[in-house]
Structure 1
């Protein structure tokens, strides 16, 4: 994360320059960049698409406690044809949010403050009666990975990568389809 706040951002906040959010979501179909205004915005050498009232990020909380926070990146009124092409495997990708200000010329004040650096977990869709689709991507911040079960099984190949001379797991694959009679001794 960026430093808490820089002099330029503090000065823009003191002068009550217009506030907005920048959101970057690393999606399997390409990184998406949105800002909470309307139209296109250039920042950091990239183009950010205005989501206006159609985009939300909820809830964003700042706390000094070590807690797991869940937040949702949502976009409403998306064309169903676009949604049909999206890959939904977003797990373990990054989602970031910055608080930013506009200067008098309509440019982003240097050094927006990063307020979220989250790991995406899953994506869901909803449909309205008008036929538009909403996308919601749930993300988690903090130490939630400590509470999540591992997504892998130890194999003989992984064992040999760490311990090349160990053959203890070589017979596991042969045991998978075997019927064994367990009797008390």
Structure 2
């Protein structure tokens, strides 16, 4: 049986402090690969424009009700330094965050999907990085591809059970939408 390779191209940009958002980005990519060639990049390596990409998926951890700031990333670093917390900072955690990257974009992607990680509580109390990403990109003229998605972490910033499968499922939803005839 001859299988044709995916013709769509997707890029997933993520910011991750302790690995949960990175793991979610990889799981989304797993689900999306049936319909697209997928590139997964930490935000520090993200391009400023996407001329040859059909979909940009952007995710970040929720800090203080929205996207991280330099001060909240510094605080995350201090948490990782606390031996009582048993947290390991991602190698790419220091440096630019999604907030600053979005502010520096030369051109907004035509279509985007937003995701975030947040505490396992109602969004009213935690806020949502995904919501902040969505607002910023829509203000830049980018079109939302699907509803944003949040993935839940516990008080130690560890993904709750089932969240990686939920991320793969969301990636498959993105793949299905990319294959819709109206979007080709």
Q: TM-score, normalization: structure 2?
A: 0.23
Higher helix share: 2
Higher strand share: 1
Q: Which has the larger radius of gyration?
A: 1
User: Higher relative contact order by CA 8 Å / sep ≥ 6: 1 or 2?
Assistant: 2
